[in-house]
Structure 1
Amino acid sequence: MSVQELNHLLERHARPDATTAINGVRICREDDAISTGPSMSGTVLALVTQGRKSLALGDQVYEYSPGQYLVTSVDLPVTGQFVEASPDYPALGFAMTLEPSIIAELLMQAGSGDLPRSGGGARLGIAVSDSSEELLDAVVRLLRLLDRPRDRKTLMPLVKREILWRLMTGEQGEMVRQLGLADSNLSHITRAIKWIRGNYTQQFRVEELAQLSGMSVSAFHKNFHNATTMAPIQFQKHIRLQAARLLLANHPNDITGVSHLVGYDSPSQFSREYRRMFGAPPSLDAARMRDVVNGGGKDLSSQGR
């Protein structure tokens, strides 16, 4: 596998919106060491082939650089930061969505001796590991299909399956395999995460989320924290503040209205927690974001991994 070829493919096919002709695959190029802002991680494999990237989840920071991959098995509220990027040496990245249905098919096809036995507990939903040559080679072959539309429809599903197989049998294999197990603790925690994301403005009782996940309250607390590094209330707070930041980009003078829209009863509490998360009060941060947009810069709140 040629690292030079991989970089060439990423640089040549990078677009401002990061999308590609392959569904679920994104390519990113950054010429400046800037924050990509808060976003939801999705369930994803991410590689950086030039530069480095730092990803913050709560108080935890994960860095990955060429030769490493980051994988997330839960949709998490994260903030990203590219480092070591310049117009002469841009940061280049690849991301592919992990599809639970395909992982489930691979689990069914695998013989009992082909995979380690899963422990069943919900592991941390984000991790960094060293990439194997086999994984990088499969990524290169997937990206080559961007130049071969005649082959893409037939070969793309096969290469994607190979990439998932390399992950499933790699260092973070147990975490990835849990995505395909309907009865794993991770899948049960995912129900609660989806509920919080869809109802982030509402108050909730942890007992109700535990029941939704089919767990006792103590088991739910433990498994939720294992998967997200946060308590459920902290997770909801991150979702609320990220939604508020997006709203403030368009309504910078309505801080009270935005705070109520995302579920806060107290604008002062909203302002305190917003400043703690983003490093500036809502009014100043909103003005800063508008300056970036009006100046032709990128929307810092919607960049991918």
Structure 2
Amino acid sequence: MMNSVDSPSHASKLVLAEVAAIADRLNQLAFREGSYASALEWLYFNRYSQAEANEQLYAMNWPIVGIAVQGSKHMRVGEQIFTYGGARLFVAPISLPITFQTMQASITEPFLGIGIYLDPQRIAELVPNVYPQGLPPMDKREAGYVMDADAALLNAIGRLLECLSNPSDTQLLAPLVRDELYIRLLRSPVGVYIAETVFADSVVQRMTQAIAWLREHYDQPFKVPELASRIHLSESSFREQFKAVTGFSPLQYQKMLRLQEARRLMLSEGMDATGACRMVGYVSDSQFSRDYSRLFGDAPSRDIARLRIGSRPVVR
């Protein structure tokens, strides 16, 4: 006979209760519109009071786990679209250029979300305890993953938010709760993909090295074969694995980095389109304008003017 605690209906009630508790707490903590950091540098909040039916925002996502406890969101990585809300988590084990769109939100029930950055160094320290016999076989890798959160993981997120009410708890207890979250994630269905990112010479680790190089040298021209050689892969294998892990080709990834940085320079630092174009490595104004319009839906000057009127943040 199935124990009532383990029954699907009871489990669902526990999950829903945890989600409601997190939403209530987050509604108090995330009291202003937008995306912003909490007292913990690796934890941030989202609050949006209107859905962006026709507007998509662009960002450079660090390795992260995100949860939308109220409302829902679409995340697009390359050609893949991920939808999550309620008790569903979005996990991106590596840095990715993303497009995101809030699909469900209102003034009375705003979108409320949490993002927790993944610390590769700390995860590397925990992986041997979770996988003492090494990593199990993996299925096809994806640029991101969506999974259902269980009540225990949600409870840990709730306790993490509670730590923010006391400076001493924020300093002493929050890192311990974060370790618990990491362990629960590593033991989850997507845990092996998170763990793989910290294994030396794994495919994902090599892609992470390539991404780090691209992020540091995004404004410089490069040749794919040379970058492949840098991480000790053939060009064909590098192209295939990079696309599988990130959803982009290496050149597409660099272009996304350049255009998002150009947008930030124009919006946040008041740089004109020509200056931003040169700063991020473009040599042709017309090519920059075409690429920018293709990605953001409008010419640079009109796009920035619209963003300033709407006070929409450009997330890095």
The TM-score normalised by the length of structure 1 is 0.89
1:155 counterpart residue number: 173
2:66 counterpart residue number: 46
Moved more, 100-109 or 13-22: 13-22
1:6 counterpart residue number: 22
**Relative to structure 1, is the Cα distance of residues 104 and 118 closer, same or farther in structure 2, using a 3 angstrom cutoff?**
farther
Given candidates 116, 122, 136, the residue that maps to 1:117 is 136
Measured after TM superposition, the shift of residue 281 of structure 1 is: 1.5
CA distance in structure 1 between the partners assigned to 2:225 and 2:271 by the alignment: 37
Given candidates 53, 56, 61, the residue that maps to 2:76 is 56
**Relative to structure 1, is the Cα distance of residues 160 and 36 closer, same or farther in structure 2, using a 3 angstrom cutoff?**
farther
Measured after TM superposition, the shift of residue 88 of structure 1 is: 0.4
CA distance in structure 2 between the partners assigned to 1:162 and 1:224 by the alignment: 30
Q: Which amino acid aligns with 1:73?
A: P
1:211 counterpart residue number: 229
2:261 counterpart residue number: 243
Deviations 1:57-108 (A, max 9, x none): 2232211111100011111111211121111010000111111122111122
Q: Which amino acid aligns with 2:66?
A: A
Deviations 1:42-68 (A, max 9, x none): 001100000001112223221111110
1:139 counterpart residue number: 157
The TM-score normalised by the length of structure 2 is 0.86
Root mean square deviation, CA, Å? 2.2
Residues 36 and 302 of structure 1 are in contact (CA less than 8 Å); yes or no, is this contact kept in structure 2?
no
1:1-305 aligned at under 5 Å gives the runs 2=17, 3-14=19-30, 16=32, 18-34=36-52, 35=55, 37-110=57-130, 112=132, 117-119=136-138, 123-249=141-267, 254-292=272-310, 297-299=311-313, 301-302=314-315
Measured after TM superposition, the shift of residue 254 of structure 1 is: 3.5
CA distance in structure 2 between the partners assigned to 1:156 and 1:194 by the alignment: 28
Measured after TM superposition, the shift of residue 36 of structure 1 is: 6.6
3-state SS of paired residue (2:37): coil
CA distance in structure 1 between the partners assigned to 2:296 and 2:141 by the alignment: 28
CA distance in structure 1 between the partners assigned to 2:222 and 2:198 by the alignment: 28
CA distance in structure 2 between the partners assigned to 1:275 and 1:73 by the alignment: 29
CA distance in structure 2 between the partners assigned to 1:111 and 1:187 by the alignment: 17
Residues 15 and 28 of structure 1 are in contact (CA less than 8 Å); yes or no, is this contact kept in structure 2?
no
CA distance in structure 2 between the partners assigned to 1:110 and 1:88 by the alignment: 42
Measured after TM superposition, the shift of residue 33 of structure 1 is: 1.5
**Percent identity among equivalent residues?**
34
